């Protein structure tokens, strides 16, 4: 687990989203910030809200769709 650039807490996970064909992103379990990147976070300010990200893809966000990779 890494430190989240947004909230500063150690809740940042590399995850796959089962509802989006196991797309790999970074997601903070503390503040629900999501970085749409597979490898590393290059732009710390380029986060979106997990709920909004899933809504944009037509899906109601749920942590049941999140599979932790590390």
The token pair at 69 is 């990779």
Pick from 20, 24, 31, 59 the residue near Zn ion by CB under 5 A: 31
Which one, of 15, 59, 11, 16, lies nearest residue 31 by Cα? 11
- Interface with Zn ion includes 28 (CB under 5 A)? yes
Find the part of the chain contacting Zn ion (CB under 5 A) among 2-10, 19-27, 44-52, 54-62: 2-10
For Zn ion, the closer CB: 12 or 17:
12
CB atoms within 10 A of CB 32: 19
> CA 42 to CA 30: how far, in whole Å?
20
Residues that bind Zn ion (CB under 5 A): 4, 6-7, 28, 30-31, 33
């Amino acid at each position: 687990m890494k430190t989240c650039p947004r909230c500063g807490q150690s809740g940042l996970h590399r995850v796959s989203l089962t509802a989006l064909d196991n797309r790999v992103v970074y997601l903070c379990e503390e503040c629900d910030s999501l970085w749409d990147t597979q490898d590393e976070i290059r732009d710390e300010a380029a986060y979106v809200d997990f709920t909004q990200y899933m809504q944009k893809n037509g899906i109601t966000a749920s942590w049941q769709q999140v599979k932790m990779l590390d």
